[in-house]
Structure 1
Amino acid sequence: MNFVKDKVCFITGASGGIGKATALQLLELGAKVFDMSRTRQLSDEVSNENLRSYKGDVSVEADVIAAFQACINAFGTVDVLLNNAGLGVLTTDLSTTDLDTYEQMISVNMRGVFLCNREALKVMKPKKEGHIVTVISMAGQRTNPNAPIYCASKFGARGLSSGLADQAVKLGIKVTDVNPGPVDSDYWGDRQVPREKFLKVEQVAHVILFVLNQPAEVMIREINFDNIKFLAG
């Protein structure tokens, strides 16, 4: 069954990585995709009548409000919100970490999720249906000595999402956390890590599509997954 066909999916950070892979798979299934990205836009690379892009920053309230309005103007509604935009910076020595680094990660990974959730709920509540999915990662469940602030932002996003699920389910709105382990993406830069043991962005997208492509009465609250090679060590 294809439950995403004709659904309007608002995705943050769809210009690359997990967001782009998910957007492309959704378009193949006949969904309508609205991409909000801070830098390049997916529509610059992909020509599809069911795709629109908006340049904006999820941590800026005015940008988020304007992006959701642009999505409604283009497609009439929002059925799915995929909170995918994220920022991760190594903070291996907290004693030398500047406040700006902390605030940037909290702003994108928590404030951005809150702002997008709020605007999506304004659309979903009157029709008593919708699905909010947040890509959090296993960093929201297990700490990392090299990235304590990143983990803190993800723990916070997971708490926000869990609390929202308790509220939204009573309105008919589904809320799901998607928690992949390490993913082979641009996040790692030139760091020496075993990327061959990491999940591929397309694999994460498959899991997101699995979550979205469930019958209306089925809600997956949280899904955790890793590359088996990574787990094996």
Structure 2
Amino acid sequence: MKQLLNRVYGWKKRIQRLLLPSVMVILASLLFATSASATGVYEIPTITSGEHTWVVDQAEVISRLNEGKISSTLENLANQTGNEVRIVTLRRLDYGETPESFTKALFEKWFPTKEAQANQTILMIDTVTNGAAIITGDKVKSLLPDETAVSVASETLTAPLRGGNKYNQAFLDASDRLVAVLSGEPDPGPPQIADNVQVEGTFKKAEETDKGNATAWVIGLLIAATIIPMATYYIYQVFQPSSNG
């Protein structure tokens, strides 16, 4: 019996030594994965005024065909009017960053002076939350007032995303509206949205699914790390009187 108790006690110690490091490793991995997938302004390649880079699709949600269409449309706009529009997609923002703060910082990185900023527009979205923002230069505001710019980011861009994350359609619609307004044409306005569309229906599914699976694993390991040693201790106590007798 003593031999059995010694084995049980040995198993308890081994389980504790094995499970605790595993839990710590998984927790560290989750934190690292979250931070590694986030994008900061410093990771975006530098673009200068007049450079023919119109789409920075780091989230890889725009097809090559549609990226080519959007780029061609925005280049024609720049050639004809001098107004330049850049579209940026990210998978995830750095902790504490918002779409507005990120876009503002990127605007100042790419175009550090008022003169360089004057005819510029950046439209940005992060695909984890579908949070969008738009920044415009001073001269652009005469054609694209802040109210219209916000409508482009919050209505035109996001409307196709509410029905199934249709990013290609979202950016085609947004670029078409921006080009019309910045070319001096009448504003076509935001798309008509039916009353039964649920605004937040698709915004957080990816994030919630990732976190949910990871949390389930961590909770399971923590429970195992608690219950298994308790069970072995209980067995030890049950057999203890026999060893004394």
| TM-score interval (norm. to shorter) | 0.3 to 0.5
Flag the structure with more relative contact order, 1 or 2, with Cα contacts below 8 A and sequence separation at least 6: 2
Task: Tell me the TM-score normalized by structure 1.
Answer: 0.38
Greater helix share, structure number = 2
Task: Tell me the TM-score normalized by structure 2.
Answer: 0.36
Greater strand share, structure number = 1
